[in-house]
């Protein structure tokens, strides 16, 4: 039970890191959600849901958003220190 709770907390932390990275990237590009929607082909309402943590985007969607912001998506796997 304790291990499941810790895993859930890690998933939530990872999700919030992704959301924060997307929002920071969009702001650094000085793009509105609507501008990003037009460039990425992803509905502005869905971008809002992603940024507010209501919608969990797939890796393909995150990649489309990164492309629209002219950014590379990097994923890093690191060993656990259990």
**What does the pLDDT read at residue 4?**
75
SS3 content of the chain, % helix, strand, coil (to 5): 65, 0, 35
**What does the pLDDT read at residue 62?**
96
pLDDT in tens, 7-63: 666 666 778 888 999 999 999 999 999 999 999 999 999 999 999 989 989 999 999
Where in the chain are the domains?
32-71
**What does the pLDDT read at residue 2?**
77
């Amino acid at each position: 039970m304790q291990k499941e709770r810790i895993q859930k907390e890690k998933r939530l932390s990872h999700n919030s890191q992704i959301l924060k990275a997307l929002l920071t990237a969009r702001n650094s590009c000085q793009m509105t959600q609507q501008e990003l929607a037009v460039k990425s082909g992803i509905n502005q309402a869905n971008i809002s849901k992603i940024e507010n943590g209501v919608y969990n985007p797939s890796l393909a969607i995150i990649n489309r958003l990164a492309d629209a912001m002219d950014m590379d998506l990097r994923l890093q796997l690191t060993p656990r220190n259990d």
